[in-house]
Amino acid sequence: MSVASRRQELLSLLQDHSTDDVAELVHRQGMLQLLARAGDPFARDHMVPGHLTASAFVVTPDFGQLLLIFHGKLRRWLQPGGHFEPADEDCVAAARREVAEETGLDDVQLVRALFDLDVHAIPAIKADPAHLHFDVRSLFVAAQRGGVAASDALGLRWVPLDEVNALESDASVMRAVRRLQLMRAGRGSEKGVAILVSAFQSPRA
């Protein structure tokens, strides 16, 4: 997929994304501004102000547990994710690839292409200056628990949603956890786990 096509696909997702979280609204505006700039915002060498990344929140079919990895560089328990590659067709493909690379799991079903947005600072590392990651997060359900930490991941855990707060994670992960808890309780836009499990059992997205 060309840069122009990926840009348009993400622009459509951002325009359709609804949230009442103030921080996420700010992140959404930042991504729209990034997409309006010249250059390739998906390229990891696009450093001013930064570039897009993709990550995945992966849950068990009952939405009871969340897959987290211990990130080797950031030293926190986070969702799998990373940079776009030229072969990635869109943010979902990039997120799915990152899950496979960092956990070995390739049997995951898409629930929502754009589940959460976050913009966060990355410190200068070696030749790379400090910059921003504009992270697009997709939501998936895994067929079963499993996985092995690989790539940038130093550890892997399936964590009950109400225990994530006890880990060294970050505010954006907890925002996603709160959203998952609402969905599990049937008060979110998916109207409960029954619909989510049905989506998981439907033909693969």
- Which pLDDT tens digit goes with each residue over 46-68? 999 999 999 999 999 999 999 99
Summarize the confidence of residues 19-35 as an average pLDDT. 96
According to the model, what pLDDT value does residue 188 have? 47
Q: Which of 78, 55, 61 is nearest to 184 (CA)?
A: 61
Of 162 and 189, the structure prediction assigns the larger pLDDT to 162
Q: In this model, does residue 69 exceed pLDDT 60?
A: yes
According to the model, what pLDDT value does residue 23 have? 94
Alpha helices (runs of H) in the chain, residue ranges in sequence order: 3-16, 22-36, 91-103, 171-185, 193-201
According to the model, what pLDDT value does residue 67 have? 97
Structure tokens at 179: 């959203």
According to the model, what pLDDT value does residue 24 have? 96
Summarize the confidence of residues 177-185 as an average pLDDT. 93
According to the model, what pLDDT value does residue 143 have? 87
Q: Which of 120-124, 182-186, 198-202 has the lowest mean pLDDT?
A: 198-202
Q: Which residues sit opposite 52 in a β-bridge?
A: 134
According to the model, what pLDDT value does residue 93 have? 97
pLDDT band at 166 (very low <50, low <70, confident <90, very high): very high
Q: Can you give the residue ranges of every domain in the chain?
A: 3-201
According to the model, what pLDDT value does residue 150 have? 84
Q: In this model, does residue 192 exceed pLDDT 70?
A: no
Q: In this model, does residue 2 exceed pLDDT 90?
A: no
Fold classification of 3-201 is Nucleoside Triphosphate Pyrophosphohydrolase (3.90.79)
Structure tokens at 131: 């910059």
According to the model, what pLDDT value does residue 73 have? 75
pLDDT band at 82 (very low <50, low <70, confident <90, very high): very high
Q: Which residues contact 59 (CB under 8 A, 6 or more apart)?
A: 65, 66, 67, 139, 140, 141, 142, 180
